[in-house]
Homo-oligomer: A and B are copies of this chain.
Amino acid sequence: MARTRHAIAVDVGGTGMKAALVSGTPDGVTPVEQRRRPTRPGGDAVVEDVVALVDELRAVAGPPVEAVGLVVPGIVDEAAGTGVYSANLGWRDHPFRAAVEAATGLPTAFGHDVRAGGLAELRLGSARDLTDAVIMPIGTGIAAALVLGGRVSPAPGEVGHVDVGHGDPCGCGQRGCVEARASSAAIARRYAERANRQVSGAAEVARLLGAGDPDAAVVWQEAVDALARGILLVAALLGPEAVVLGGGLALAGPLLTDPLGERLDELITFQRRPELRLAALGDEAGCLGAALLAIDMLEDR
């Protein structure tokens, strides 16, 4: 049995950073103390804030901290330890792992936020019994962690940016992307445009849908159609047992999974029909995944 490790996990998000002092093994992680703070853009600013969070959490009484786990968004080169590109946070080829190791003196595991969140759902959450799965957080954007043969693949998994044929432009420069209709941000924006009425977010559109609002019904169904077509592509290529839906939109629960399942049943022909599940770990998945990366690194030593 693996011994209990002590690490600090940091999940750098587009707007906020989550950090936790954790104890755990590769199969179970307990947060001992947590911190949140807003994300300042720029690679140097992020490293500075990560180091400050690590120092703060190291000062908490307890066994010595053995490692840091750090995950960031964008394009990530896990092997090199670099953030290759983040449009939102403004970095290119930033050497996160080396910078955090130099400043803290702690071995640092470095990864991608969505893939780390997928690892957490695989080990600790809704995908525990699965070998081949797609773990798809839906929030401001849409991405996916691909679990293949029981492991989280380093593949990009950009299911939010495949063309599903609706023709609307996407922020990525393409047209027809799943994300342009089915992200929480797209649902809120498209409802506001159609109903000429501002909403606080996709959760409000879901409430309006439940109340029988016809504009909400159209926007929601178009989102469901785009998601179903994206999942169908993944099913043809990868044949996962299940798709685990996470992120803010998954809080809609059966309001999302029921029509999505129906649409998938209508569209599917030869593909294996993936089960639809809801993620279990909410917005803690990335931080728990960062903790697992740190613990796995210590176990491999």
Contact = CB atoms under 8 A, between A and B. Distances in A.
Interface of A: 75, 132, 144, 146, 148-149, 153-159, 161-165, 172-174, 176, 229, 232-234, 236-239, 267, 269-272
A271 B155 contact: no
A239 B165 CA distance: 21
B172 A233 contact: no
Contact of A270 (B146, B173, B176, B238): B173
A149 to B, nearest CB: 7
A241 to B, nearest CB: 12
A161 B270 contact: yes
B148 A155 contact: yes
A79 to B, nearest CB: 11
Nearest to A132: B155
B172 A237 contact: no
18 contacts: A146-B237, A146-B238, A148-B148, A155-B239, A156-B237, A156-B239, A156-B272, A157-B237, A158-B236, A158-B271, A159-B237, A162-B233, A162-B237, A172-B269, A173-B269, A174-B267, A233-B237, A234-B237
B163 A165 contact: yes
Contacts of A234: 237
A155 B232 CA distance: 14
Contacts of A159: 236-237
Given A155-B239, A157-B237, 12 more contacts: A132-B155, A146-B237, A148-B153, A148-B155, A149-B153, A162-B233, A163-B164, A163-B165, A165-B165, A173-B270, A234-B237, A237-B238
A238 B157 CA distance: 6
Contacts of A236: 156, 158-159, 161-162
Nearest to A170: B269
Contacts of A148: 148, 153, 155
B158 A237 contact: yes
Contact of A163 (B146, B158, B233, B272): B233
B155 A238 contact: yes
Contact of A233 (B146, B153, B233): B233
Candidate in A144, A163, A164 with the most chain B CB atoms within 10 angstroms: A163
Given A148-B148, A159-B236, A237-B237, A165 B154 contact: no
Given A153-B148, A237-B158, A229 B163 contact: yes
B158 A270 contact: yes
A237 B40 CA distance: 29
A238 B172 contact: no
A78 to B, nearest CB: 12
A271 to B, nearest CB: 7
Nearest to A236: B158
Nearest to A238: B155
